[in-house]
Amino acid sequence: MNLRELEYLVALADQRNFHRAAQVCHASQPTLSAQIRKLERELGVRLFERSPRGLILTQAGEATVRRARTILDEVAQLRDEAARHSASGTRRLHLGVFPTLGPYLLPHVVPRFMRSFPSTEILLTEEKTSILLRRLIDGQIDAVLLAMPVDDPHLTGRKLFSEPLHLAVPCGHELAGRTQAPADALSSQHLMLLEEGHCLRDQALTLCRRYGAREYDDFRGTSLETLRQMVIAGMGITLLPQLACVGPVASGGMALLPLESGDFRRDIGLFWRKTSGATDLMESLSELIATVAADLMASAGQGRLSA
């Protein structure tokens, strides 16, 4: 038995699907399946019941997964402790962030972090939310920036800021001349959205259903930059977070419209393990990120929203 097998076990318990669990663990499905069978043989019990509707944890499986989570958490604490007492005295912070936030926030956060914490090395990972959560719980990263809510008994955190979403339309669109779009302007519109796995896609779909809009079925973007370029090319409209509309990262050729309804926003938080020994650093990082985000939001609010 090794830690990797326990990581496979916990991922499978969370995902209840071999294919998705293998993706989360960055392993092939045959490898993950073989390791789970090996673990079952070694323990002498069945951990999962294979039913037509999916995987079900057996009673032995539930007990084993609880213990596996404890072991993985202890290993994460061991790594944290070792990092804090390294011979060089340098601390390490491994921060995860999802793709629709990282490029627009981190370039402003990292330089200030390095100035404020010169003895702390910062490592960055950009991944989709489900993967970041799994890596955080498993101790592979120390903290993650995520869209709220995040509900996991192993994690704690705090809200940092609330980011409005703007409607992005081609310059020739009927809404392009407005300074603000009423929520009912989305009625019967078709919005281009991101592909599966992005939390922003899930939120946008919820808003579409609420306000009578629909997804543009013939296209799904791999990134916000892809969506931006499709809008500029006149292929359709989309929703963009405010930080993606500020400064040099935003391109011309389209109109960006705030939406009247307060529903069009996302809350961003920083999350870390409850058992982390670096709570002081997490709180300081939270304050820094919240301050940087507030400055960026103020910049946009003073009329410097790029389009």
Instruction: Report pLDDT digits (tens) over 158-196.
Output: 999 999 988 888 888 888 888 888 878 888 888 888 888
Look at residue 301 in the predicted model and tell me its pLDDT: 58
Look at residue 114 in the predicted model and tell me its pLDDT: 92
CATH of the domain spanning 89-161+267-304: 3.40.190.10
Q: How confident is the model at residue 252 (pLDDT cuts 50, 70, 90)?
A: low
pLDDT (tens digit, 9 = 90+) per residue, 112-154?
A: 999 999 888 899 999 999 899 989 988 889 999 999 999 888 8
pLDDT (tens digit, 9 = 90+) per residue, 189-244?
A: 888 888 887 888 888 888 888 888 888 877 788 888 888 888 888 888 888 999 98
AA identity, residue 43: L
Look at residue 44 in the predicted model and tell me its pLDDT: 92
The rounded mean pLDDT for the chain is 86
Class of 163-265 in CATH = alpha beta
Helices (H), strands (E): how many in the chain? 9, 11
Residue intervals of the chain classified under CATH 3.40.190.10 are: 89-161+267-304, 163-265
3-state secondary structure of 221: strand
Lowest mean pLDDT among 13-27, 176-190, 268-282: 176-190
3-state secondary structure of 223: coil
Look at residue 196 in the predicted model and tell me its pLDDT: 80
Residue intervals of the chain classified under CATH 1.10.10.10 are: 3-82
pLDDT (tens digit, 9 = 90+) per residue, 96-106?
A: 999 999 999 99
CA distance 191 to 215: 5
DSSP letters, 250-269, are S-SSEEEEEBSSTTSEEEEE
CATH of the domain spanning 3-82: 1.10.10.10
Residues facing residue 57 across a β-bridge:
48
3-state secondary structure of 1: coil
